[in-house]
Structure 1
Amino acid sequence: MFEMRSSWVWDFWFADDGDRYHLFFLKASRALQDPDRRHWRATVGHATSTDLRTWEEHADALVPADGPAFDDLATWTGSIVRDDAGLWHMFYTGVNREGKGLIQRIGSATSHDLFTWTRTDLVLEADSAHYEKLAQGAWPDEAWRDPWVSRNADGTGWNMLITARSTTGDPDQRGVVGHAFSPDLARWQILPPLSQPGDGFGQLEVLQTETVDGQTVLLFSCLNSELSTERQAGQERGGIWAVNAPSALGPFDISEAYLVADQSLYVGRLVQNRAGQWQMLAFENADDTGAFVGRITDPQPVAWADGKLTMMGAHHPSVGNRRYVNAS
C-alpha cells in the first residue's frame, strides 16, 4: 500500500521501464486540513517499485508552472507513453488561476529517464464542435482532462481518450469518451466522442483501455453524486466502472457499464505484474464514515466472471498491509 504521512494521494498512473514500475500520482499537503481543498494544490508525485507493493518516493515530477500558463494553479491526472526513439511523453491535465480552476486543458512534458521532465508547448482545449464548454453553464466546470494515450493497433499514430462532456442531452447525462488522434505525439486532431451521451453519467473520469485475456475493457470512475438523477433514483452506486468493448477505440456502449468496486475505492488502474498477470490498484477514497482517505491500495488480481471484469481480492479499503513511504 502506498501512503504518505505528509500528503494525501489520489489519482495515479504508471510507466514501466522494464526494471521498475514508475508510479505518478496526485498529491497535496495534509496541512490543508480539508481534503476538498486538495484539487487546487495538486502536484504530480513520483515513486518506484519492483513489485507494485513496496515503493520508494522520488522528487515530484511536475508542479504548477510559473504564470501565466494553462497549468499555473494545479497539475492533474494523465498518462505516459514511450516513442520509438525512447523518449517518454507525459500527457496531463492543467488548470490555471485566470480561469479560477474551472477550465481544464491538456498539456505534455517529455523525459529521457522518467525523473526529470520538460514541458512542451502543447495545449489542447475542448472543441465546441463536439464538446461542452464552460459557457454553456450545464456543469460546474469545463471537463477536458485525464488523457489516456495509447498507440494505434496498426502502429500508425496515437489515440487519446479524454474525460469530456457532450454538447447535447440531459445535463446530468452528458459524460462521454472524448477522442483525439496524433501521428507523432506532437500534432493532435480533436475528433468526435467514442460514446454517446444519455447513459446516466455526468462524467467518465480517469479512462483506461486494456485487453485482458483477449477481451478489451474500458475502465472509468464516477461518483454517486455524478450519476444521473435516474440512476440515483434506482439506488445505483458510484465507484469504479467497466464496459466491455470490441476494440481500444470502442465504440463504447456506456449503457452496458457495470460496477467493479463501490466508491470506497476510486480510479481503478490495470497493470501487469512481472509474471504477466493482470492486477488492479485503486486509491482509497472514503472510509466507513465517508471521510476521505487518500492512499493507494496494494495490487489485487482481476479475472473474468460471467463476462464481467472482477477484482478477486476484497474491495474494502482495509485490504492489504499499510506501508508508509520512507517510513522510519
Structure 2
Amino acid sequence: MVLALKDHFVWDSWYVHDGEKYHGYFLKAPRSIGDPDLRHFNVSYGHATSTDLVNWDHLGECFRPSVDGWDNYTTWTGSVVRGDDDLWHLYYTGTRKNDPQLAQQIGHATSTDLHNWERVGDGLILDLVGPNAHHYETDVSNAEWHDRAMRDPWVMRDPDGEGWLMYFTARVPGVAEANDAGCIGFATSLDGYEWTLEPPVYAGGFGQLEVPQVFEKNGTWYCLFCTANNHYSKEQTTLRPVVTGSHYLIGDSPRGPWRIAPGFLDGTQPCTRYAARIVDTEDSMVILGFADRPNNATEFVGHIMDPDPVEITAEGLLSIPPKLKAAE
C-alpha cells in the first residue's frame, strides 16, 4: 500500500522511529497546480505514521514556509532526530522569495509530539558564510549552475565524540566542468543548536549529489545520494550506467575519505524511484523513495513507493535484489 495522497503530489521523504512506530515526513504540493514541476514552489510537509513502513496513517500537514521570514518561499527536504534535551529536532532547507540565485539555507525547528513544529528563533541556523565558506560555491550569478545549493540536511550523532554531524547537498567552486562540482557539505555542532560550517567531506563526479543520508553497517560507512542522468561528469559517464536514481559513497569513517561505489544502486531511465532513504529495521534494511515515472510513465506520478529490501554483498556493497527492484 503506497503512501499516496489523492489531491497532492508527494516526493522527497525522511523517517524517524519514536520507539513504537515510524514517522514519515514528505514534501507535498496540491495537484491543482497542474504542472508537477511547479510543486517545488508550492510546497509544505506532510506527516504519516506506520508500524511496518507499508501501511500508513496520514496525519496531515505539519510544516510550511514562513509568512515573511528567510524561508518564506520554500521549505524543502530535511531530517529529524531526538536531541539530548528530549525534544525532537527538525533540520530543513529554506529559500526566500525573489532571490535570483535561489540561495538555500538550513533551518531548525523543534517539537514535543513529532507533528507540531516551532522554529528556533527565526529558524535560520546555517549558511555558506564564515572561515570555511571559500570551500563552497557561494555565487552562481554567472548562470553556470541553476541555484546556490545548500540543502537536504542529514543530521546524526557524532559516533566518534560528543555532538552532532550534518551533511548536505552543495557544490565546490573553481571546477571547470559544472557536472564535476557537486559535493557533500559538512557541519558540526556540540548541542544541535549552534553549528559550524566545515569543508566538504566529498566532492566530484556529479553536478549534484542530492538528499544525502549517512549511516554505518557492519563497520562500513555509506552515504546514499540521488542524481539525474544529465548531472554525470564526463568521467562518470564512462564508468557506470547513465541513469537517474539513487547511488552511494563508501567511507572509512563518517568524515571519510569517501569514494563512489561501483555500478549504480537504484536507477532507471526514465526514473522509477528517486530521493530514496534506507531504513534499518529490526529485521532488515529497506529502501523507500518517491515514484517519478515508473514503467515509462509519461507524467510524474508522485507518491512514496512501498519499501524494497536492501542487501550487503560479501564485498560490502549495497544491493537491491534484481527481481524486487522497484517496478511500480
Fold match by TM threshold 0.5: yes
Which letter maps to 2:227? C
- Shift in alpha-carbon separation, 1:59–1:289, aligned structure 2, 3 A: closer
Distance in 2, Cα, partners of 1:269 & 1:89: 18
Q: Does structure 2 conserve the Cα–Cα contact (< 8 Å) formed by 1:149 and 1:160?
A: yes
Q: Any stretches of 5+ residues in structure 1 without a counterpart? A: 319-328
Give the structure 2 partner of residue 123 of structure 1.
125
The alpha carbon displacement at 1:136 in A equals 4.9
Q: Specify whether residues 219 and 290 from structure 1 end up closer, same or farther in structure 2 by C-alpha distance, changes over 3 A only.
A: farther
Cα distance in 1 for partners of 2:299, 2:230 equals: 15
Q: Secondary structure at the match of 2:39?
A: helix
* Contact 2:101–2:141, Cα closer than 8 Å, also in 1: no
Residue of structure 1 equivalent to 2:63 = 62
> Residue 215 of structure 2: SS of its match in structure 1?
strand
Alignment coverage as a number of residue pairs: 313
Are 2:278 and 1:270 aligned?
yes
Tell me whether 1:204 sits opposite 2:209 in the alignment.
yes
Counterpart of 1:132 in structure 2 is 137
Give, in whole Å, the separation in 2 of the partners of 1:36 and 1:250.
35
| SS of residue in 1 equivalent to 2:141 | helix
Paired position in structure 2 for 1:240:
246
Q: Which amino acid aligns with 1:153?
A: P
How far is 1:77 from its partner?
Answer: 0.1
Residue 137 of structure 1: how far off its partner (Å): 3.4
What amino acid maps onto 1:168 in structure 2? Answer: G
Counterpart residue number, 1:322: none
Alpha-carbon shift at residue 154 of structure 1 (Å): 3.0
Mean Cα deviation higher: 185-194 or 227-236: 227-236
Aligned pairs (5 A) from 1:56-135: 56-67=57-68, 69-99=69-99, 102-121=102-121, 122-127=124-129, 128-133=133-138, 134-135=140-141
Deviations 1:265-296 (A, max 9, x none): 111211122x3421111111113144211111
- 1:315 corresponds to: 325
RMSD after superposition:
1.8
- Identity fraction in percent: 37
User: 1:236-265 deviations in whole A, cap 9, x for unaligned?
Assistant: 2231101221122222123x4541111311
Relative distance call for 1:99 and 1:37 in structure 2 (3 A) is same
| Contact persistence 1:243–1:257 (CA under 8 A) | no
| Superposed CA offset, 1:116-145 (max 9, x none) | 100113332123411102335321100100
Residue 4 of structure 1: aligned partner: 5
Contact kept in structure 2, 1:297 and 1:317, CA below 8 Å: no
TM-score where L is the length of structure 1: 0.90
Distance 1:30 1:137 in 2: 30
What letter corresponds to residue 288 of structure 2 in structure 1? Answer: L
**Letter of the aligned partner of 1:311 in structure 2?**
I
CA contact (8 A) 1:108 1:119 kept: yes
Secondary structure at the aligned position of 1:266 is classed as strand
| CA distance 1:101–1:135, shift in 2 (3 Å) | closer
Partners of 2:291 and 2:219 lie apart in 1 by 29
* 1:321 match: none
Q: Distance in 1 between matches of 2:163 and 2:263?
A: 30
Secondary structure in 1 matching 2:264? strand
Q: How does 1:11-22 map to 2 (within 5 A)?
A: 11-22=12-23
Moved more, 91-100 or 5-14: 91-100
Greater mean alpha carbon deviation, residues 281-290 or residues 181-190:
281-290
Which 5+ residue runs of structure 2 have no aligned equivalent?
Answer: none
Q: Which runs of 4+ in 1 moved over 3 A?
A: 229-235
Contact in 2 for aligned 1:92/1:146 (Cα 8 Å): yes
* Shift, 1:301, TM fit: 1.3
User: Residues 243 and 258 of structure 1 are in contact (CA less than 8 Å); yes or no, is this contact kept in structure 2?
Assistant: no
